[in-house]
Chain A
């Protein structure tokens, strides 16, 4: 697959480089991912003796924001072509694949499946709100089993 097409793509963080409030290049921008979170993730993957410059954090903050925008733009296009109004998790995975981000697509497919499974369990639990969830274990208890045998049942 050749390099990805992004005809109508606009950079998500294009205004960041001109903002000088707050001491860094990005200042207090709420159109970017929060730098504290970004910095924490970076710190977690680096060895303890590593240091990260403020500008390196800021540029990765912009890259990650751009990543969201880039994939979302592609996913939005797909939804438009399929006449759908809502971007869902599958659209994100397909967009990643279209853009050559295959290992992200694969990782997210598994993550999305587990997330949906946990959502189903949560919904079932919420539907039983206020009522006890009854689990019949009588079949497992030997005393009931022997009673049924006496009555001639299996």
Chain B
């Protein structure tokens, strides 16, 4: 993907989409995608998928929305517990209470460390 020069995004009308800065690094997203695409492909034809330049851009925004939604839902659980600090359990509650986050159930129940650290 061609790198944009500093001001080349100014005339495009879509600076934040095309040139960034993105909320999440595109290279890292692409790395995570390649691992999953490779795993899914291994079960089928064994060939790794290629990833178009626009796909990590879409995920950068989608993950931003996802993190925002999950955080807000976790915060609702925090408030219910009359606290001001979001804990791991609040995130777990948010996942359990949201049908479309079923795919995250394993993620939130793996950890069994007491959540005492705050920053």
Contacts and interface: CB of A to CB of B under 8 A. Distances in A.
Main secondary structure of the interface of B (DSSP, over half): helix
Nearest to B108: A59
Contact of A52 (B64, B86, B106): B86
A90 B99 CA distance: 24
Given A64-B66, A111-B17, A126-B2, 14 more contacts: A4-B102, A4-B103, A8-B43, A11-B107, A12-B35, A33-B32, A45-B68, A45-B72, A68-B32, A72-B32, A73-B37, A76-B37, A100-B100, A114-B17
A34 B31 CA distance: 12
B46 to A, nearest CB: 10
Interface string A54-97: 11101110111111111111111101100001111101110010
Contacts of A38: 24, 67
A154 to B, nearest CB: 34
A40 B86 CA distance: 14
15 contacts: A17-B110, A34-B25, A44-B68, A45-B68, A50-B78, A59-B91, A63-B66, A68-B36, A76-B40, A76-B49, A80-B45, A88-B54, A121-B11, A122-B4, A122-B12
B92 to A, nearest CB: 8
B24 A33 contact: yes
B49 to A, nearest CB: 5
Interface in B1-58: 2, 4, 8-9, 11-14, 17-18, 23-25, 28-29, 31-33, 35-37, 39-45, 47, 49-52, 54-55, 57-58
B86 A111 contact: no
B58 A30 contact: no
A71 B45 CA distance: 19
Contacts of B117: 24, 53-55
A68 to B, nearest CB: 5
Contacts of B64: 41
A51 B85 CA distance: 4
Interface of A: 3-4, 6-13, 17, 24-25, 30-34, 37-38, 40-42, 44-46, 49-56, 58-60, 62-77, 79-80, 85-89, 91-93, 96, 99-101, 104, 107-108, 111-112, 114-119, 121-122, 125-126
B37 A92 contact: no
A24 B13 CA distance: 41
B117 to A, nearest CB: 4
B62 to A, nearest CB: 6
